[in-house]
Amino acid sequence: MKKFFLTLCVALVATGFAMAQDLESVVGTFNAAATALNEKNYDSALAQFNTALEQATALGEEGEQVATNCKESIPKVLLQLGKQSAEASDFDKAVDFFKQATDKALDFANNDAVVAEAQKLIPQMLNAKAGALLNAKNYDAAVEAYKAILESDPTNGAAFFRMGQALNAAGKADEAIEAFTKAAENGQEANAKKQLANIYLRKAVACQQEKDMKGMLENAQLSAENNDSANAQKLIGTAALSLKQNQVAAEAFEAYLALNPEAADKAQTIYQIGTAYMGAGNNGKACSYFKQIKSDAKWGEAATYYITTLKCN
């Protein structure tokens, strides 16, 4: 019995010594990780903190303090790795690290500051990636990147606007219109409406070339509704006159001259206003415009004819 007791005591002492050696090894790994972190060697720091955490956890209560310190450090290292990737313009990798930092901080339940910072940085990385693709004229990829932003932030007017730019540049006018319309509804009204006006103006010109006067009128009116311009009003007037919508034509040509009072085709436009009002049955207005150009070298003869025909005073 005495011999057995002595053997048991020796075994317990040996076990305690082994545990002390194990703890010393874990502390050494932790300290190496901390040194790597101070030297900004984040990959090495992360690997060693993870190793120290695994070893400290295996020691149970003996390694509890080291395990706690590792749990405090790992999310911070992941955050730094994300920032390092962002500086290298590897935005996908940065987002992955920020998500890992968030997950670890939540899992360890010990660092709200890391969670807050990572969640703030993730959308910044998504925007940076999309912007880089747009600037590189990789329009299809840029569209997909902006869609990813909008999945988590469906009221992001700036993302809708940039996506509209990418779609427009890719020749997808109808999809661009949808994006710019959403942008206008979410805080980007002024800029988005300018883009919408330009798209509709190009559509109106295309319709004019195809001799689609109805389409020309509709698109030119939409352009003017979004951002009025002399060009839009001139197209409205030309299309409406062709479609015998004389009142619409007259008012559009008047708006054109109001926006562009020194227009090179001013005399011609005044003549068109006169004919539009005449077609609308407003001879008094027609006469007032024809009289303005009766001395014009090019349009004076035709204007004089109508002055006589209409018996203008």
Higher-pLDDT residue of 257 and 11 is 257
Average model confidence (pLDDT) for the chain? 92
What is the rounded average pLDDT of the residues 286-313? 95
Percent of the chain with pLDDT over 90: 90
Q: Is the pLDDT of residue 255 over 70?
A: yes
Half-sphere exposure of 44 (CA within 13 A, CB side): 12
Residue range 7-44, pLDDT digits in tens: 333 333 333 434 455 889 999 999 999 999 999 999 99
How far apart, in Å, are the Cα atoms of 6 and each of 2, 9, 12, 27, 304? 6, 5, 10, 32, 133
| Overall fold of domain 23-136 | 1.25.40
Q: Is the pLDDT of residue 1 over 80?
A: no
* pTM to 2 decimal places: 0.81
Choose among 95, 93, 101, 98: nearest CA to 75: 101
The pLDDT of residue 111 is: 81
The pLDDT of residue 313 is: 81
The pLDDT of residue 14 is: 37
Cβ atoms within 10 A of the Cβ of 137, count? 10
Higher-pLDDT residue of 6 and 223 is 223
The pLDDT of residue 21 is: 52
Joined tokens for residue 139: 């329009």
Residue range 183-195, pLDDT digits in tens: 999 999 999 999 9
Choose among 201, 285, 261: nearest CA to 235: 201
The pLDDT of residue 109 is: 77
The pLDDT of residue 23 is: 85
What is the rounded average pLDDT of the residues 242-254? 98
Q: Is the pLDDT of residue 304 over 60?
A: yes
What is the rounded average pLDDT of the residues 142-161? 96
Q: Where along the chain do its domains lie? A: 23-136, 264-313
Residue range 97-141, pLDDT digits in tens: 999 999 999 999 778 999 999 999 999 999 999 999 999 999 999
Question: Is the CB of residue 279 less than 8 Å from the CB of residue 291?
Answer: no
Q: Is the pLDDT of residue 144 over 60?
A: yes
Is 160 strand, coil or helix? helix
Residue range 160-178, pLDDT digits in tens: 999 999 999 999 999 999 9
Joined tokens for residue 196: 């919408």
What is the rounded average pLDDT of the residues 295-304? 96
DSSP string, 265-305: THHHHHHHHHHHHHHTT-HHHHHHHHHHTTT-TTTHHHHHH
Written as one letter, the residue type at 281 is G
